[in-house]
A and B are shown apart, each in its own frame.
Chain A
Amino acid sequence: MPALTSPLHTLAAILPPGRVSEAPSYCAAFESDGLTAFRKRPMGVVIPETQDEVIRTVRWCAEHNLPFVARGSGTSLSGGSMPVSDGIVISLNKLRAIKKLDPNNRIAVVEPGVINLHVSQAAAPHGLYYAPDPSSQKICTIGGNIAFNSGGAHCLKYGMTSNHVIGMKVITATGEIAEFGGDSVESLGADMTGLFVGSEGLFGIALEITLRLIPQPECFHTVLIGYHALRDAGDAVSAVIDSGLLPGAMEIMESLAIEAAEAATACGYPKGAEAALIVELEGPRERIELEKQQLHDVIAGTNAFETVVAADDAQRGAIWAGRKSAFSAVGKLSPDFLVQDGVVPRKRLGEALVKIQQFALESGLRCANVFHAGDGNLHPLILFDDSIPGQLEQAEALAGRILTLCVEMGGSITGEHGVGIEKREYLAQMYDPASMNVMHRVRAAFDPKHIANPGKMFPSGDAAAPEPTCTPNQASSDSLSSSPIEVDSPEQLRQAIGDFKKVLCVGRQTKPPLSRVDDAVLISTQAMSGITEYEPSEFTFSAFAGTPLAEIRDQLETRRQYLPFDPLLVDSGATLGGTVAAGLSGPGRHRYGGLRDFILGATFVDGDATLIKSGGRVVKNAAGFDLPKLFVGSCGRLAALTELTFKVFPKPVELHSFSLACTDHEAAMKAVADLARGRWELDAIDYDANAKLIWIRIGATAAIAKQIVDDIQRTLSTSPPFSAADDSLQESPWQRLQQLDLLPAVEDSVTCKIPSSLQSAGKLAQWCESQEYRGDARLHVSAAGAVCWLAIRGTLLPALEQQLSQLQRAGLVICDPQHVTTKPVIGPTLTQPIDLAVQHAIDRVDRFPGLVF
């Protein structure tokens, strides 16, 4: 490579030879991503080969104030990885090691340049896969997926990237190396992992990512249905949703897209269809057999003119190949196109499509539509020819009208492709100035100098970001009364927050150790209660923070829906806000994910007493930072939550529980791993360590549950066999855990949640069993080994502390009636500078007490 002339020579000097180039060939090749309408030549390109080289490069940038743009495979469709002209591109394609694959705990640790599909390929021999499947999965990287919280056709059931990323090591734009989350699907403290996912490269670079793997579905039932009218296809989607089925994917393609895909892949789509609908059911054969018929009946009631059921893997492959090649195949119809990515409430899909067609007609450009119908995520492809003067502007104008339409309909400007450079001017349509300001502040916590991917996501780039003034915390000294102050509306809450120097919100205080502070006024939200919106056909509801979970449960029940994260302490009166703040999910989280995986939006009051909206009200939204996730587990230390929006699912027809006696903990943990990796899609897999009993729960009719449990027995040759349990009985372990009543006989018991692995759970089980502590400790291992619920006699706390440091695990104290503990966390914890910086970005005046960690 020729010698470097620019300031980059000092960077080259700290890296091995050949890593830095400013040759025209490099600068040209990296000038754009999947959206070629936007391009810019960088000053140079760095292609590091190790994490350490990335770290050195970022630190050099921080020191020299030189912007950098991280880049994976450059398939972004929003200009997210477009370079900046006065900065460098850091291409991460050589960091492609899968560092660890742990089939028992079902996780993989990968470097950012690892290709999405390669994770699934590596996991396949263990019967596992990595669920998010963007159409670009053959080539896009996990780093890029993280930046945009990428989705795919199969998001409806299993969620997006952020639902499958459980931990990461990052370098922030200031050069700080931080670790978020860990190897368990549950974590303690504010969910920084969730915040980083979707940050569009504005926070820094993800260096190592821990991914959750799930068992490959045993059976697929893939149906391709032809309709003569788009509206009919849209209606069919609603009919499927209303029937209570939860398909893995539901996709619609319009005639123009069908034509392109058919030409590219000969995928066998229905001839003459105005719209093709793909519905895919997935799961264990016993259930699919039944659901297949149900789906068939639903489809028969729609205006379908042709229905093709994939007969084998090859035909299923062809159907998906057509869908997944649709974007690029459009390249055959038109030299250039813009892919839009708006989201609308599902029930307004038909209306939105008609409007889009009308807009396209008015603009004189063609528009092909492909969309994730189950999520209401539209992908209008606007076809144009950039070589014709004015057409790009015309296309952008049309795109703008579509985006505005999505916002007006209560949706989002992006479901999965990110804001990037293309949609940045529209972000402010979704969020009011206060929300935008808080996002600017969070960004500044990671990147005060605006050197990480500058110019993206925020309207008019970065410079114009108005720095909101910060009202100093002028509240007079607090009168600390013992009972919390009641508020009954967000406005009252806002005022109350402004009135006191230090405050902490509480719900009904079902988890007292989390609100035990001595320097803050407690404000109770329990009177700020009620469901504000429930849209069963959208799978969403919104409710005030003080709403009791029981009320929500009952309301959802009327439409046969439920909270899939299986919240705890429901009958003890727990509120929605308190549950979010504590970040608590129950055993049922095993099947579809925890609380963090279902929260969509959060309205909150920050330290300045400003009411701020974050997230959205539709099931899919990748616009702006994912603040709602950040609040999960934050224990009220970042802000006061006022209203929350959640995704819900159809409730399993019935739940049936079975238990299996184990000889020892080691055998039990092995059995848990086998159960979790199997094809059965169990609703819950827990282990009562004291009783040496594994408990499983199956969400299906009694007959199917029986078939499944019989098959488990055959496959794992378990002896003794599983015994069926009566779920209504009080002694079922679900009930005990639900009430967190693990050691009722011990008065000074302390109950804590410890995110763990199978190994750690096994060791904790041994520890509890050891002679000394017998009877004084009870361990309930939940979520297939990922969480330990441990109750111990208060006198054992020091011993537990020691044990947890050995295991390098921490616990959060949820119950402690006798006030034995002095702080809500036990075991080793670490507050990193970035954690504090983020807290300070949201609460600039230290209104809320310090972090629990």
Chain B
Amino acid sequence: MRHEINREQYGALGPVMADAVSQCVHCGFCLSACPTYQELGREPDSPRGRIILMKEVLEGTIPLDSAAPHLDACLGCLGCVPACPSEVPYGDLISPFRALHQSKQPRSLGNRIKRTLAQLTLPFPNRFRLAAKTGKLAKPIVGLLPEALRVMLDLLPDELPAAQRLDAVYPATTKQRGRVALLAGCAQQVLAPDINLATIEVLNRNGIEVVVPQRQGCCGALSWHVGNLKAAQKMAIENIKAFAGNFDAIVTNAAGCGSGIHEYPLILKGTEHEEAASRFAKQTMDVSVYLASLGELAPIPEPTQPITVAYHDACHLANAQGVRAQPRHLLKSVPGITLVEVRDGHLCCGSAGTYNIDQPEIAASLGQQKADRVIESGASLVAMGNIGCMTQIENHLQQKGSHVRVRHTVQILRDAYQGKL
């Protein structure tokens, strides 16, 4: 599509955004894959519409505040990416766009507090723990808080698991086949530390030594997606340093973090770290991808009874990293598991980073639909590879009084190894 964006005007990200716009042919195929379009039925709230809006803002023909509500409503789920026959890299447009325009956007006070709070706490496990605890204390007075803050609190679990400190190295428990470094994730460490333990155990059982670089920090995805470029760059550089070493792979188990690292080359575009970022991103993969690449897994015992498991595609795994087959393949290889699909599986669950904090109504509607589809699948367990989805789906399943359990793919594998599935 034709545009008149000045490629020079926006620094290193200018050409990236301009190229993404020019690749779009406005065919509309993305509309069918966009959860917000499905919800709102309005062209400006579709990927195609948003591309036009960003183009126009970049060209300077429409004001940012007219486009902003529609761009803010984007989940960043990238459902549009696999749906696009022209392969428009939508993420390469929306993230830089947000990074560039974040500071210029007028927002309500509550919204600002919320965004700042999320950015300042979620990436830091200790702060998040503290905030979560305070949040818990505040739960009884929830009704008194501004709407924007209330939704954040609603999402917090009633009970936080005990804090978990990870060792620096976990040696393989069978004959060593490889060595990886683990990105531990931030929110995940607070909300579900068990996922890291499960990851480590499954890898160890398969002869993989797991190193947990102690100086690692947040991947920066959150800051990047809400448009805080400076913070995201800082975090990326720190992580590239922290993970220096000789590893077969850098393994992630939170889809959001994994896709965040895959965006490092974009985040650091035009800086001296660009190349290191590309190398780092290439080395990073989801735990399911790494496990699947090992070929035959260490044998898993037969379960006492068969179990039906549904698999939910996390957007940041399926759309952002193209990981769909591997987790399914792993789950299918567990004896006794019948794997089923979730209808309309391509639609986001509404979690998408801080979305359930920013756009609560749409997030809630998508969450409810997802819970319905999961229940309808008839599974007793639903597997996924992202903590954000887990919190969201669990929340909505609970609201519906469902007993379907929400588990991370590696938790299921670990439980299967322990004969506790």
Q: Which residue of B lies closest to A388 (CB)?
A: B2
When chains A and B are docked, how far (Å) is the Cα of A337 from the Cα of B32?
22
> Which of B62-70, B113-121, B329-337 lies at the interface?
B62-70
When chains A and B are docked, how far (Å) is the Cα of A47 from the Cα of B56?
22
Kindly name the residue among A24, A94, A329 whose own CB sees the greatest number of chain B CB atoms within 10 A.
A24
Give the contacting residue for A387; candidates B2, B62, B86; CB below 8 A.
B2
Judged by a CB distance under 8 angstroms, whether A713 is at the interface is: no
Kindly name the residue among A25, A36, A93, A330 whose own CB sees the greatest number of chain B CB atoms within 10 A.
A25
Q: What's the least CB distance linking A114 to chain B, in Å? A: 12
**Cβ–Cβ < 8 Å partners of B69 in chain A:** 25
**Cβ–Cβ < 8 Å partners of A74 in chain B:** 28, 43
Q: What's the least CB distance linking B231 to chain A, in Å? A: 28
Instruction: Give the number of residue pairs across the A-B interface with Cβ within 8 Å.
Output: 113
Interface size bracket, A side: 35 or more
Q: What's the least CB distance linking B1 to chain A, in Å? A: 5
Judged by a CB distance under 8 angstroms, whether A327 is at the interface is: yes
Establish whether residues A335 and B1, one from each chain, have CB atoms under 8 Å apart when the complex forms: yes
Establish whether residues A28 and B62, one from each chain, have CB atoms under 8 Å apart when the complex forms: yes
Contact with B along A235-277 (1 / 0, CB 8 A): 0000000000000000000000000000011000000000000
When chains A and B are docked, how far (Å) is the Cα of A327 from the Cα of B86?
9
Q: Which residue of A lies closest to B2 (CB)?
A: A386
Judged by a CB distance under 8 angstroms, whether A193 is at the interface is: no
Judged by a CB distance under 8 angstroms, whether A366 is at the interface is: no
Establish whether residues A28 and B52, one from each chain, have CB atoms under 8 Å apart when the complex forms: yes
**Cβ–Cβ < 8 Å partners of A33 in chain B:** 26
Judged by a CB distance under 8 angstroms, whether A325 is at the interface is: yes
Q: What's the least CB distance linking B59 to chain A, in Å? A: 10
> Which of B17-25, B180-188, B302-310 lies at the interface?
B17-25
Establish whether residues B49 and A36, one from each chain, have CB atoms under 8 Å apart when the complex forms: no
Q: Give the number of chain B interface residues (Cβ < 8 Å).
A: 34
Give the contacting residue for B31; candidates A73, A330, A386; CB below 8 A.
A73
Judged by a CB distance under 8 angstroms, whether A31 is at the interface is: yes
Establish whether residues A73 and B62, one from each chain, have CB atoms under 8 Å apart when the complex forms: no
Establish whether residues B25 and A331, one from each chain, have CB atoms under 8 Å apart when the complex forms: yes
Give the contacting residue for A34; candidates B28, B56, B70, B88; CB below 8 A.
B28
Establish whether residues B32 and A25, one from each chain, have CB atoms under 8 Å apart when the complex forms: no
Contact with A along B1-41 (1 / 0, CB 8 A): 11100000000000000000011111111011000000001
**Cβ–Cβ < 8 Å partners of A113 in chain B:** 41
User: Chain B interface mostly helix, strand, loop or mixed?
Assistant: loop
Judged by a CB distance under 8 angstroms, whether A158 is at the interface is: no
Judged by a CB distance under 8 angstroms, whether A555 is at the interface is: no
**Cβ–Cβ < 8 Å partners of A327 in chain B:** 25, 27, 85
List residues 69-102 of chain A with CB under 8 A from any CB of chain B: 73-75, 91, 93-94, 96
Give the contacting residue for B29; candidates A24, A29, A328; CB below 8 A.
A328
Known interface pairs A93-B41, A94-B41, A139-B28. Does A329 touch B1 (Cβ–Cβ under 8 Å)?
Answer: no
Judged by a CB distance under 8 angstroms, whether B112 is at the interface is: no
**Cβ–Cβ < 8 Å partners of A31 in chain B:** 52
When chains A and B are docked, how far (Å) is the Cα of A443 from the Cα of B22?
38
List residues 263-290 of chain B with CB under 8 A from any CB of chain A: none
Judged by a CB distance under 8 angstroms, whether B42 is at the interface is: yes
**Cβ–Cβ < 8 Å partners of B88 in chain A:** 331
Establish whether residues B87 and A332, one from each chain, have CB atoms under 8 Å apart when the complex forms: yes
**Cβ–Cβ < 8 Å partners of B42 in chain A:** 47, 91, 93
When chains A and B are docked, how far (Å) is the Cα of A337 from the Cα of B1?
9
Q: Which residue of B lies closest to A32 (CB)?
A: B26
Judged by a CB distance under 8 angstroms, whether A23 is at the interface is: yes
Q: What's the least CB distance linking A83 to chain B, in Å? A: 11
Known interface pairs A25-B70, A31-B52, A325-B85. Does A136 touch B29 (Cβ–Cβ under 8 Å)?
Answer: yes
Q: What's the least CB distance linking A321 to chain B, in Å? A: 9
Q: What's the least CB distance linking A377 to chain B, in Å? A: 19
Establish whether residues B87 and A336, one from each chain, have CB atoms under 8 Å apart when the complex forms: no
Judged by a CB distance under 8 angstroms, whether B249 is at the interface is: no
Judged by a CB distance under 8 angstroms, whether B61 is at the interface is: yes
Known interface pairs A26-B44, A331-B24. Does A139 touch B32 (Cβ–Cβ under 8 Å)?
Answer: yes
Contact with B along A287-325 (1 / 0, CB 8 A): 000000000000000000000000000000000000001
List residues 312-333 of chain B with CB under 8 A from any CB of chain A: none
Establish whether residues A336 and B85, one from each chain, have CB atoms under 8 Å apart when the complex forms: no
Judged by a CB distance under 8 angstroms, whether B261 is at the interface is: no
Known interface pairs A96-B41, A335-B2, A335-B22. Does A29 touch B49 (Cβ–Cβ under 8 Å)?
Answer: yes
When chains A and B are docked, how far (Å) is the Cα of A47 from the Cα of B24?
25
Q: What's the least CB distance linking A481 to chain B, in Å? A: 62
When chains A and B are docked, how far (Å) is the Cα of A29 from the Cα of B67?
10
Q: Which residue of B lies closest to A324 (CB)?
A: B85
Establish whether residues B56 and A28, one from each chain, have CB atoms under 8 Å apart when the complex forms: yes
Q: Which residue of A lies closest to B22 (CB)?
A: A335
**Cβ–Cβ < 8 Å partners of B63 in chain A:** 24
Establish whether residues B31 and A139, one from each chain, have CB atoms under 8 Å apart when the complex forms: yes
Establish whether residues A36 and B1, one from each chain, have CB atoms under 8 Å apart when the complex forms: yes
When chains A and B are docked, how far (Å) is the Cα of A28 from the Cα of B66?
10
Judged by a CB distance under 8 angstroms, whether A819 is at the interface is: no
Contact with A along B190-226 (1 / 0, CB 8 A): 0000000000000000000000000000000000000
**Cβ–Cβ < 8 Å partners of A335 in chain B:** 1-2, 22-23
Establish whether residues A264 and B66, one from each chain, have CB atoms under 8 Å apart when the complex forms: no
Q: What's the least CB distance linking A19 to chain B, in Å? A: 11
Establish whether residues B1 and A336, one from each chain, have CB atoms under 8 Å apart when the complex forms: yes
Judged by a CB distance under 8 angstroms, whether B421 is at the interface is: no
Kindly name the residue among B22, B27, B29 whose own CB sees the greatest number of chain A CB atoms within 10 A.
B27
**Cβ–Cβ < 8 Å partners of B28 in chain A:** 34, 73-75, 136, 139-140
Q: What's the least CB distance linking B267 to chain A, in Å? A: 25
**Cβ–Cβ < 8 Å partners of B1 in chain A:** 36, 335-336, 386
Establish whether residues A25 and B67, one from each chain, have CB atoms under 8 Å apart when the complex forms: yes
Establish whether residues B32 and A138, one from each chain, have CB atoms under 8 Å apart when the complex forms: yes
**Cβ–Cβ < 8 Å partners of B23 in chain A:** 331-332, 335
Establish whether residues A115 and B32, one from each chain, have CB atoms under 8 Å apart when the complex forms: yes
List residues 113-129 of chain A with CB under 8 A from any CB of chain B: 113, 115, 117
Kindly name the residue among A23, A29, A336 whose own CB sees the greatest number of chain B CB atoms within 10 A.
A29
**Cβ–Cβ < 8 Å partners of A330 in chain B:** 25, 86
**Cβ–Cβ < 8 Å partners of A73 in chain B:** 28, 31
Known interface pairs A23-B66, A28-B61. Does A34 touch B27 (Cβ–Cβ under 8 Å)?
Answer: yes
Judged by a CB distance under 8 angstroms, whether A30 is at the interface is: yes
A-B contact pairs, 9 of them (CB 8 A): A24-B66, A25-B53, A25-B69, A29-B43, A74-B28, A94-B41, A326-B85, A330-B25, A331-B86
Nearest first, the 9 A-B pairs at minimum CB distance are A331-B86, A386-B2, A328-B85, A331-B25, A325-B85, A29-B49, A24-B62, A29-B44, A328-B27
Interface residues of chain B, those whose CB is within 8 Å of chain A, are 1-3, 22-29, 31-32, 41-44, 46, 49, 52-53, 56, 61-63, 66-67, 69-70, 84-88
